[in-house]
Amino acid sequence: MGRSQARTSQSVAPVVIVPGTGGNQLEAKLTSDYVASKPWCCSFRKGFFRLWLDVKTLFPPFTSCFADRLSLDYNPETDAYSNVKGVETRVPYFGTTEGMEYLDPSLKIVSGYMIHLVKALKAQGYESGESLYGAPYDFRFAPGPHASEVALNYMGDLKGLIEAASRKNDDQPVVILAHSMGGLWTLYFLNQQSMDWRRQYISRFISVATPWGGAVEQMMTFASGNPEGVPFVDPLVVREEQRRSESNLWLLPVSRVFGDRPLVVTSTRNYTAKDMKTFLMDVGFPEGVAPYKSRIPHLTEILQAPQIPVTLIHGYGVPTSEMLSYEKKGFDTHPEITEGDGDGTVNLCSLTAVVKEWEGVEGQQLEVIPLANQGHMKILHDEASIQVIVDAIMNVRPQDQQHLVQLTS
């Protein structure tokens, strides 16, 4: 990986990695209350098994079993999310990067996530459990005033992990490295802590490809389902599970970033980011309106600067969904897509949404590193972009990175 000489674990700042949505393994156990939705979904498994990700379960007809077990239930009376009846879940490998290196260890060739970054950090002297830690979570849930016990427990566990990592490294403050939705989680977490705590325990927050203002592609998830590039997955089969994920509501476009421009077009009306409640009704998901109203404005209307040093790294120059047209066949079909700039998943205006806001905050150190032609996931796989991330962790300034000119020109 390059220019920097490897260092010992005693000489590097401790790092805690917070993955994005779907960026770590999730395990499940079926209890006697579990009722299979299809005859072939009956399971004789005992104990916990890997629910996310087991690639074999994505193949038809087992896709519906996978989707049912991954779904959440929403109770409108209590305004609370929980697992579906008969399914217990847990997040394995908390504190380590093991569960986020490969999402399906039996198929490493297609499920690598953080593995390349982890290897690059270890080449610089980082050691698992000594100076390098992972903070996986149940990515279906979201934080906020209506947070479930699962989300609240994660907030406490993350705080404890950071404090323990600091203590183990001679009380050095920690670098938090977060990808995608992990950046939103991290910002929310930091802003719940006192300023004294932040300054004692956090040296830098490095955000990679964070959708600060949501993404247009997420509207397709709710309208017609999103197979996320897996060719044999029927989007309509996974649509209901995707709609019932609390955190997916969090990733819908927000008006303070996308304004009044049409994002979804139909034969009867257009939808902007201001029309999200009507949009959820019209796509056939009225049960999503109440949790959207109670949760999302609190999470997205103000993204407060954390008042610790921040490095924002994001891709651009990759065709990204900018407008979805369902004019011809309705919401049960794949839309015609008009593309704009972004990282292939998140629109550029969202990737950079906090820059102008935070630049004007007194005392907020902000470093922005745009990487040309780097996709949302490619940024964690490409050798040059990984070097940029490693350099940011090692606090090498961008003007010292000769390869950065090639990436951003």
pLDDT tens, residue by residue, 12-42 = 999 999 999 999 999 999 999 999 888 888 8
Whole-angstrom Cα distance, residue 188 to residue 247?
A: 13
Domain locations in the chain? 9-24+94-408
Q: What is the average pLDDT across 302-325?
A: 97
Strand ranges of the sheet holding 264-265, from the earlier edge strand across to the other edge: 270-271, 264-265, 320-325, 336-340
Predicted local confidence at residue 379, as pLDDT:
98
Whole-angstrom Cα distance, residue 115 to residue 179?
A: 13
Whole-angstrom Cα distance, residue 115 to residue 52?
A: 17
More confident residue, 403 or 54: 54
Q: Counting every residue, how long is the chain?
A: 409
pLDDT, one tens digit per residue, over 207-245 is: 999 999 999 999 999 999 999 888 889 999 999 999 999
Confidence of residue 400 (pLDDT cuts 50, 70, 90): very low
pLDDT, one tens digit per residue, over 331-373 is: 999 999 999 999 999 999 999 999 999 999 999 999 999 999 9
Whole-angstrom Cα distance, residue 292 to residue 300?
A: 11
Confidence of residue 3 (pLDDT cuts 50, 70, 90): very low
Q: Where does 9-24+94-408 sit in CATH, by number?
A: 3.40.50.1820
> Which pTM was predicted?
0.94
Predicted local confidence at residue 61, as pLDDT:
92
Q: What is the average pLDDT across 152-161?
A: 98
Strand ranges of the sheet holding 174-179, from the earlier edge strand across to the other edge: 132-134, 15-18, 174-179, 202-208, 310-316, 366-372
Q: Is the pLDDT of residue 409 over 80?
A: no
Predicted local confidence at residue 10, as pLDDT:
56
Please state, for a pLDDT cut of 90, what percent of the chain lies above it: 88
Predicted local confidence at residue 44, as pLDDT:
67
Confidence of residue 404 (pLDDT cuts 50, 70, 90): very low
Q: Is the pLDDT of residue 406 over 50?
A: no
Q: How does DSSP assign 298-336, residue by residue?
A: HHHS-----SS-EEEEEEESB-EEEEEE-TTT-TTSPPE
Q: What is the average pLDDT across 179-193?
A: 98
Active site residue ranges = 180, 343, 376
Q: What is the average pLDDT across 311-320?
A: 98
Contact 287, 74 (CB under 8 A): yes
Predicted local confidence at residue 138, as pLDDT:
98
The torsion region of residue 180 among left (phi > 0), alpha (psi -120 to 50) and beta comes to left
Closest CA to 273 of 197, 219, 334, 211: 219
Tokens of 295: 């949760």
Task: Calculate the average pLDDT of the chain.
Answer: 93
pLDDT, one tens digit per residue, over 366-394 is: 999 999 999 999 999 999 999 999 999 99
Predicted local confidence at residue 8, as pLDDT:
53
